[in-house]
Each structure stands twice: as structure tokens, then as C-alpha cells.
Amino acid sequence: MLVIAFGANLDTEWGAPSSILVEAMKLLSAKGITAHSVSRFYHSLAIPSGSGPDFVNACGVFRSDLSPIAALAALHEVEEALGRVRTLRWGARRIDLDLLAVICAPPDLAGAGGRVLPDGAARDVRTTAEVFPDLATWTRWADLPFERQMAETPDQLILPHPRIADRGFVLVPLAEVAPGWRHPVLGKTVAELVTQLPKEQFSGLVPFGTPYEQTPLVNKP
């Protein structure tokens, strides 16, 4: 199963940023990446401060038989189909899809009927994950100073995403759908990582709705 983060902060032909996030989920489904559970939408402040309009963010757990590399390629194809052009790092964008982690679900989770959570209620996804490509590479990128983060981009897939534990706009929605997922390097669950976030990471972070309210992304059981 895949853990995916969604973000956008520009109006498009689909409407407000939340609408293009829903469109991205539909396109992912057509590529065999189907929603198990998706968080509420959240408004969040652009990073760095003043770099653009506020973002809309969400996180979800998705079923897929794709390899991590193939899944990342599918995410990039969806971004391209929705008109994303990669220019300024951390600049304003129509759509941003990040593969956060690949989790190995126990049989009861992998075989359960999925649905998009309509009420933001937490679903405890207790799973394990692997580090990709290796611990040394993950550590180097996770420890990168903020100034270099703004300028440098990895030339390969790194899992779990090196910035998961730093970002309220990722951890807070992720805690709605996978509070029990334990970070394979840090050894803490998502719920525990949320409690360790500095206060400023919650600034401007406001839930306001769910993808389920706009369209059913999967068939409800």
C-alpha cells in the first residue's frame, strides 16, 4: 500500500485547489492506485513564508500492486496530465503529489473494503515500512540543512519521505488515516510524531472538508 501526500495552491480549470486534488485521485485510480482512506482537506501556509497563496493539503493510504519506482512514475504522469510544470522549487503549483512511504499491510487491512473517510475519523493503520534506497542515503537527505533543502532535489526515490517528521501539513492529515504507522528510522508512530511538532507547524493549518464530500473516489462497502 502507498502513502501519498497531495498539495496545490493555484486555481485551475478544475476550480479551487481542492478540486484538482480530487481530480488527481481520480487519475491515480485509473492507473491502479485506488483509495483506501483519505484525510480531510487542510489549508496550510506556503513555505517559505510569503512564497505564494495558501496551500490545500491532504494525505491518503492507497492500494496498488505497483513497485515504488513505478508508483512514483505514475504520480509524475498524473502531475503532468494536470498541467504541472516544474520550475521554482517550493514555488506555487497547480498540483504536487509526494510518495511518502510504502507500507506492508497485514492481511486484514489489505483485504478490507476501502472507502474515503467522510468524517475525518482516524483509521489505525498499523503497518511496517522499508527504507529506500538505503539508510545512509535517507539519513543524508533527512539531515540536510533548510537552506540546502530549498535548492537541492534528490535524483532518486527516497522512502520514507525525508521531510515527513518536519511538516505539520503532512503529519496532521496523515494522522487521520494512519496514526499507528511507525516510521522505520525514527521508531515513532505518526500520532507520536504529531505531538513532537513545534507549535509553529500548526499555524494556519485548518481542516475544511473531505474529498468524499465532492465525489466518491471508491465504492463504499
How many folded domains does the chain comprise? Answer: 1
Q: How much is the pLDDT for 121?
A: 36
Q: Is residue 198 part of a domain?
A: yes
Q: Is residue 88 part of a domain?
A: yes
23-49: per-residue pLDDT in tens? Answer: 999 999 999 999 999 999 999 987 766
Mean pLDDT is lowest, of 96-110, 154-168, 173-187, for 96-110
Q: How much is the pLDDT for 105?
A: 56
Q: How much is the pLDDT for 183?
A: 92
Does the model's pTM come out above 0.85?
no
Q: Is residue 105 part of a domain?
A: yes
φ and ψ of 160, to 5 deg:
-60, 160
143-175: per-residue pLDDT in tens? Answer: 988 778 777 788 889 999 999 998 899 999 999
Q: How much is the pLDDT for 219?
A: 40
Residue 109 has pLDDT above 60, yes or no: no
Q: How much is the pLDDT for 146?
A: 79
- Do β-strands 128-129 and 2-8 pair in parallel, antiparallel, or remain unpaired? unpaired
Mean pLDDT of 70-99: 85
Domain limits at 170?
2-214
Q: Is residue 113 part of a domain?
A: yes
Q: Is residue 219 part of a domain?
A: no
On whether the CB atoms of residues 105 and 62 are closer than 8 A, the answer is: no
Q: How much is the pLDDT for 119?
A: 37
Give the CATH number of the domain where residue 81 resides. Answer: 3.30.70.560
Q: In angstroms, how far is CA 34 from the centroid of its own chain? A: 14
Q: Is residue 221 part of a domain?
A: no
User: Would you tell me how many other CB atoms lie within 10 Å of the CB of residue 91?
Assistant: 11
Q: Name the residue among 137, 135, 145 with its Cα closest to residue 186.
A: 135
Counting residues of the chain whose pLDDT is more than 70, the rounded percentage is: 77
CA distance 172 to 24: 20
Which residue has better confidence, 59 or 144? 59
